Amino acid sequence: MIKTNPYLSSRNGQLFIEECNVSELAKEFGTPVFLVSEALLRENFRKIKTSFEKFWPEGEVAIMTALKSNPNLAIRRILNSEGAGCDIYGPGELYCAMQAGTPAELVSVNGSIKDESIIEKAIDFGARIVIDAIDELAIIKKVCARLNKQARIMLRLKPYMPSISEEPSDFYPSLTITDLTQRIKYGLPNSDIAPILDILKDSPEMNLIGVHIHMGRHTKKLDVWKTLVGQYVEMIHMISTELNGWLPKHVDFGGGIASERDNEILVDVTDYETPSFEGYAQAITSQFRDSMNHYGLETKGITIEVEPGRALHNETGIHITTVRNIKRETMYQPNIWVELDTAETFLNLHGGSDQQRFPLVVANKLEQPTTMKADVVGQTCNAEMLFLDQQLPEMEKGDVMALLSTGSYIEPMTTNFNALPRPGMVLVHGDQAHWIKKHESIEQVFSRDVIPEHLK
């Protein structure tokens, strides 16, 4: 059996997640449905946190988990209980963090196009704001005056890395990391840094507590990460000089850390060595320390932060689906189609057959010989070529398939193509399983539609 999650096991030919039989969960909750292992989620978080703590004795470590990778209230409550911080983007994610009870001081409001509404909500709540555009400063000043509060802010920087100008991105191998880290919209334009610092010199309502970067999952090469950190510190030194010796209390290195097994369909290139969490932690912290020392900048007391999304969630989730039909062609071009009740639009897949695919197992026939070759297809009117020429056990209606490593960025990207209701999500906790997001109903799919009076 392909194993991406240590809490998956085979018992008498049946797939188990933690102590639950996956085929029985399919019957109980209906398919398609997403399953999440609480045990692996907690284990991953603790590994990441202890890895960075091991190599950063100078100060605290904050794991500001990326809410976007699995924006769910119950998932967020689990992470709150582990002491996790929370990186959010937009009013919906801020609402999720607040409703889940995340402490305000551990919420980082990120992203572009922050309007007055979200800035006011963030300041009133007590979250910090990561500045992504110079125009946000005027809004913050206005809101602070109205609320009579001070805002904690960080600057989202875009380190320029000419020394790796030939290094391709794992996301887009035809483009370089140097180009993409400048071209992708997020972060302050470097040309705006000087005028922003001028504004901050005369803005007591804004407390600049730190800085932030986000390269993303462009590479697993630790030398590139070290280059990023080195250029980051060069910018910190420049800011410190301009602000008369200012030093950050918080230094955020963003996300982009690969999951341990890196079964990642959203990244084009994964087939090379994946560093351990400790490998990332040692590379980032040692380069940060050395670069700060190079400029004579103090590191003691600085809280370092990382924002894992895929590294935290990817392998915690599996997606289960039931075989609803089997078709056979015996003329012209013989073929077999195994039709599932899931869809590419539930899996963040967008047509074609050349994309990487999730690891796939037949949950109720793990130990049966693979004597059948078939195309495994989804239910929409798209081509739905999920797995072509797949070697399978002899398949029957009612068999349950499990697509592994669907824990990050998959469920949030589901759509209602063909007016299909989106799947729910179930949390597995030992031998128990609980809804944490119900299946959408057909009525809910159309709940936002409005018929004008003249069409009634």
Structure confidence at residue 262 (pLDDT):
87
Tally of residues, the chain? 456
pLDDT in tens, 157-185: 999 999 999 999 998 999 999 999 999 99
pLDDT in tens, 347-387: 998 765 555 678 999 999 999 999 999 999 999 999 999 99
- H or E element, residue 427: strand 424-429
Structure confidence at residue 204 (pLDDT):
96
Structure confidence at residue 356 (pLDDT):
62
State whether 293 and 345 are in the same domain. Answer: no
CATH assignment at residue 323: 2.40.37.10
Residue 168 within a domain: yes
Structure confidence at residue 2 (pLDDT):
67
Burial class (CB in 10 A: 0-12, 13-18, 19+), 238: middle
State whether 170 and 242 are in the same domain. Answer: yes
State whether 278 and 152 are in the same domain. Answer: yes
State whether 158 and 272 are in the same domain. Answer: yes
State whether 351 and 426 are in the same domain. Answer: yes
State whether 331 and 387 are in the same domain. Answer: yes
Decide which of 259, 275, 308 is a domain's last residue.
Answer: 308
Name the amino acid, one letter, at 148: N
Q: DSSP secondary-structure letter at 273? A: P
Structure confidence at residue 143 (pLDDT):
98
State whether 232 and 116 are in the same domain. Answer: yes
Q: Which of 357, 352, 354, 347 is nearest to 265 (CA)?
A: 357
Tell me the pTM: 0.95
Residue 292 within a domain: yes
Provide the domain count of the chain.
2
CB 266 within 8 A of CB 228: no
Residue 17 within a domain: yes
pLDDT in tens, 247-306: 999 999 999 999 988 887 778 898 899 999 999 999 999 999 999 999 999 999 999 999
State whether 158 and 19 are in the same domain. Answer: no
Residue 59 within a domain: no
| pLDDT exceeds cutoff 70 at 9 | yes
Residue 50 within a domain: no
State whether 168 and 229 are in the same domain. Answer: yes
Decide which of 256, 281, 308 is a domain's last residue.
Answer: 308
pLDDT in tens, 378-429: 999 999 999 999 999 999 999 999 999 999 999 999 999 999 999 999 999 9
State whether 367 and 252 are in the same domain. Answer: no
**Boundaries of domain holding 32:** 8-37+315-445
Decide which of 249, 273, 308 is a domain's last residue.
Answer: 308
Average pLDDT of span 137-161 = 97
State whether 341 and 229 are in the same domain. Answer: no
pLDDT in tens, 213-250: 999 999 999 999 999 999 999 999 999 999 999 999 99
Give 87's pLDDT tier (boundaries 50, 70, 90): very high
Residue 30 within a domain: yes
Residue 126 within a domain: yes
> How are the residues of the chain apportioned to helix, strand and coil, as percentages rounded to the nearest 5?
35, 25, 40
Residue 1 within a domain: no
State whether 167 and 225 are in the same domain. Answer: yes
Residues 289 and 282: their CA atoms lie apart, in Å, by 10
